Structure 1
Amino acid sequence: MSCPHLNLLDPDTYKDGIPHEHFAQLRNERPVYWQEDPITNVGYWVVSKYDDLQYISKHPEIFSSAARTALSNEMTDEEVAMQSMMILNMDPPDHLKYRRIVNKAFIPRVVEAKLTHIREMAKAIIDKVAQRGECEFVSEVAAELPLQVICELMGVAQEDRHMIFHNTNVMIGADDPDLSTSAEEGMAAAAEIYTYGYKILENHRANPGDNLVDMLVTGTVDGEQLTDDEFAQFFLMLLVAGNETTRTVTANGMKLLIEHPDQLQELVENPSLIPNAVEEFLRYEPAVMQFRRTVMHDVELGGQQMRKGDKVVMYYTSANRDEDYFSDPNRFDIHRSNAKEHRSFGIGEHFCLGSHLARLELNVMFEELIPRLRNPRFADKPNYMRSSFLNSMKTLHITFDPEPA
């Protein structure tokens, strides 16, 4: 097998894009593969197949999110303990107890009630760029809608939203020198949002309102309300998850449409195809490339013997192109009949809490921009984030036919 040395947790591995040929070879030859990591000296199992990813996700008693968190970077025991209050890093039964607190804010009926308001936001975002004939798509379009929606849900004041945008960028881009010069800077960005969460909590106690903050404040786990620290952790996680991932898929979707103008034209002529196109964006270019689990007792998977304590990294970007599930998986196709079977939102107990909201935002944004940003073209090469976690662009400069005044 070629390239066994390719360290998939090294951000530089992705400087020329996701190594899809390598993943295809892994799926075919060694779907569960042990990889050494000279950066951290902690080796890990690479899981590249759809079925194996599903099995791991559905068996948290074997593959834990809590033991060393769901994030692939190495942490001290103290850092792991600090992360333990985020539901991303919980196992049953704690995970479900905490998830119930906010779950009702994201059910389809509640999300769909916001449709008109979200569409108005999307139209206003497009209004700002449509007559110019050019924009930096990531910051001016893709980032705006998810940022506005989650900030509104969480009670973040308009004047503070740039701070949220900046700090979530720094947190997610901790491996990118353009965004964060050090891990310490990433931690400082998280601390600023964390501290801001306390301010939101104080404001809510003084002026209660019917929003997501109220659900967090009044919700209970085993009869007890969240502590201030638990509230701040929830606040941080929801802001990051509700902001970064939807923005990334919006930008990736725009890039794909520019690269496939014939399929873009089909969407112009037949907007009813947009929902399936969104699912294909999610399958073909998922925002999150991987999550981690820790083996809790010896187990065999994919013909490989895993030992208690082993690090396991599941690659969604590979599972979404598994030939056993998706025919001609490296072809972008808005008509793909099973595009919605992607695993970009995960599967099992950690299935994305905000998937309904993300889908709504993505559909609304593309329904609004496709008829108005006509004949889009690259003004410059997409500038990707240096990351082994997020499949994200920092900038995407585009031009298009200016909308008449």
Structure 2
Amino acid sequence: MDQCPFANLLDPDTYAEGMPYTRLKEIREAGPVVKIEDPISGTPYWAVTRIAEMDEVSKNPALFSSAERSAFPMEYDDAIVEMQRFTIINMDPPQHQKARRIVRNAFTPKRVESYAARFREHARLIVDAVARRGECEFVEEVAAELPLIAILELLGVPLQDRKQFFDWTNTMIFADDPDMATSMEEGQLAAMEVITYALDIAATHRRSPMDNITGALLDARLGGEPIPEEMFGWMFILILVGGNESTRTVIAQGMRLLMEHPAQLQYLVDNPEKIGNACEEILRYNTAFISMRRTAMADTELGGQPIKKGDKVILHYHAANHDEHVFGDDAMMFDITRAERMPDLYSHLRSFGIGQHFCIGSHLARLELNIMFEEIIPRLRNPRLQTDPKFVRSFFVNAMKEMHIAFDPEAEVPAA
């Protein structure tokens, strides 16, 4: 079928000016599962845009596989698919549960909460660095800092290397954006450099054991044996990207949304105890990861559509997070009070996925998001855009690459 009237959701140009809210609504209204052609890759796919069908796919890995071709929405050749087979996101049961068990203890709610005081200290220093200037480039100077510092600390990476990891992460994730990387090959090279760095950290751990995520991975056993070095390297990358880029994206997009809705921002200035609720709406409205892939392992039916064995199925988390069947007729509206009238909002979000691949770092992301906005909102007063924000050209991560803002400079506190 011809892709018209629907936009190709796997064309990075579709997102070059930000999330195409209206186009996504049109596809969602056409049905929960819509066939879309992809002339770029030549591989057509089924777009899943509502929560009920997304959950059906996500909770049935035997029928909708992550391992068969990769869970990433891009088209890879067989060599790349094979290379990525050690990535936990590309595993199906039972291997997936065994690998997930290795890292989950580092991300329990109790353990994550133990990081709060240190994260708060970092967040204050991040805001301190810009508050008196009255302007900043928000993405790199504010939004990127805490997620990167936090995940590097938890992985055992010295903070002096954080700029290198910031650049590597951009290169790996944003290979479709000419401002961020020149090619997919450059992205793959960056991944290899990160793996090499990770193996150096592994050698350090063997000499001097670390009590962090890296230590937990390296000390774990899979089938009675240490995890293979290649698996450790890919897990390292996944934790780095998942714990860094996704949270910085949500912080940056959340700040944009609050500036575009000044009355809602003022409500949070006046009611700071509501910031946690607002963060749930920020997570819903502009989720970090746009889409993931599954591959049908048998002929089946989904959302009234005939799915054939081998078909590519795209889970579009952003579209599902605006599903009117779940969030009501005002699902397209940004409303920080939504959680006050929908107390179980957090459980309806698909920002962290659902099912066996539910994001293991969701507690960490929520903690960082809450702490950053608790520090930003009272101090960066009357924030406003200086220029139009620049969005990353990507159908995978809903990121911003630049957002220059101005605000009322914070007065210097006289020394006591």
Q: Indicate which of 332, 335, 350 corresponds to 1:333.
A: 335
SS in 1 for 2:83: helix
Q: For 2:201 and 2:325, how far apart are their aligned partners in 1?
A: 47
- 1:284-324 CA-to-partner distances (Å, cap 9, x unmatched) read 01111110000001110111110110000011111111111
Determine the C-alpha separation between the residues in 1 that align with 2:120 and 2:306: 50
Compare 271-280 and 334-343 and name the one that shifted more. Answer: 334-343
What is the letter of the counterpart of residue 395 of structure 1?
Answer: E
Q: Which aligned pairs between 1:292-307 and structure 2 lie closer than 5 A? A: 292-307=293-308
| Structure 1 CA distance for aligned equivalents of residues 123 and 379 of structure 2 | 12
Per-residue deviation, 1:16 = 2.9
Q: Counterpart of 2:20?
A: 19
- Asked if 1:376 corresponds to 2:378, the answer is no
**Could you say what secondary structure the match of 2:120 adopts?**
helix
1:347 to 346, 350, 354: 354
Q: What is the one-letter code of the residue matched to 1:54?
A: D
Q: Report what 2:207 is aligned to.
A: 206
Offset of residue 5 of structure 1:
4.8
2:369 corresponding residue in structure 1: 362
> What per-residue deviation string (whole Å, max 9, x for no partner) do you get for residues 52-95 of structure 1?
01110000010000001111111111110111101111001111
1:218 maps onto 2:225 in alignment:
no
For structure 1, which runs of at least 5 residues remain unmatched after alignment? none
Write the distance in 1 (CA, Å) between the matches of 2:264 and 2:175. 35
- Quick check: 279-288 or 156-165, which moved more? 156-165
Q: Report SS of the residue matched to 2:294.
A: strand
Q: Distance in 2 between matches of 1:395 and 1:18?
A: 15
For 1:63 and 1:176, the matched residues in 2 are separated by 30
Aligned residue identity for 1:10: D
Alpha-carbon distance, 1:4 to partner: 2.8
Structure 2 contact 194–237 (Cα < 8 Å) conserved: yes
- In structure 2, C-alpha distance between the alignment counterparts of 1:309 and 1:329, rounded to whole Å: 33
Q: Distance in 1 between matches of 2:211 and 2:7?
A: 50
C-alpha distance in structure 2 between counterparts of 1:342 and 1:197, whole Å: 33
What does residue 54 of structure 2 align with? 53
For residues 326 and 230 of structure 2, what CA distance do their matches in structure 1 show? 42
Q: Say how many residue pairs are matched.
A: 405
Instruction: Find the aligned partners of 1:200 and 1:93 in 2 and give their Cα distance.
Output: 28
- What whole-Å deviation, never above 9, does each CA across 1:112-147 have from its counterpart, x for those lacking one? 011111100100111100110000000000000000
**Per the alignment, in what secondary structure is the counterpart of residue 178 of structure 1?**
coil
Structure-2 separation of matches of 1:313 and 1:65: 11
CA contact (8 A) 2:6 2:27 kept: no
Within 5 A, what are the aligned runs for 1:229-268?
229-268=230-269
Q: Per-residue deviation at 1:19?
A: 2.3
Q: Post-superposition shift, 1:17?
A: 2.6
Q: Name the aligned partner's letter for residue 372 of structure 1.
A: R
Q: Which residue of 1 aligns with 2:70?
A: 69
Aligned AA (2:59) = K
1:117 corresponds in structure 2 to: 118
What is the letter of the counterpart of residue 172 of structure 2?
M
Structure 2 counterpart of 1:395: 402
Q: Which runs of 4+ in 1 moved over 4 A?
A: none
Residue by residue over 1:227-266, the C-alpha shift from the partner in whole angstroms, topping out at 9 and shown as x without a partner, is 1111111111111111000000000000011001111111
Structure 1: how far apart are the matches of 2:4 and 2:389?
26
Residue pair 2:146, 2:368 contacting (<8 A) in 1 also: yes
Partners of 2:354 and 2:165 in 1: CA distance:
28
State the alpha-carbon separation in 2 of the partners of residues 3 and 285 from structure 1: 25
TM-score (norm 1): 0.98
- Which residue of the partner structure matches residue 167 of structure 1? 168
Residues 348-377 of structure 1: CA deviation (Å, up to 9, x unaligned): 000001000000000000001100000000
How much identity, in percent, do the aligned residues show? 53
Q: CA deviation at 1:283?
A: 0.5
> Does the aligned pair in 1 maintain the 2:3–2:37 contact within 8 Å?
no
Within a 5 Å distance, the mapping from 1:33-52 to structure 2 comes to: 33-52=34-53
**Contact 2:64-2:297 at 8 Å conserved across structures:** yes
Question: d(CA) in 2 for partners of 1:350 and 1:170?
Answer: 24
SS at match of 2:172: helix
- What are the within-5 Å matches in structure 2 for residues 155-194 of structure 1? 155-194=156-195
The 2-side partners of 1:295 and 1:2 are apart by 21
Classify the secondary structure of the residue corresponding to 1:181. Answer: coil
The amino acid across from 1:116 in the alignment is: A
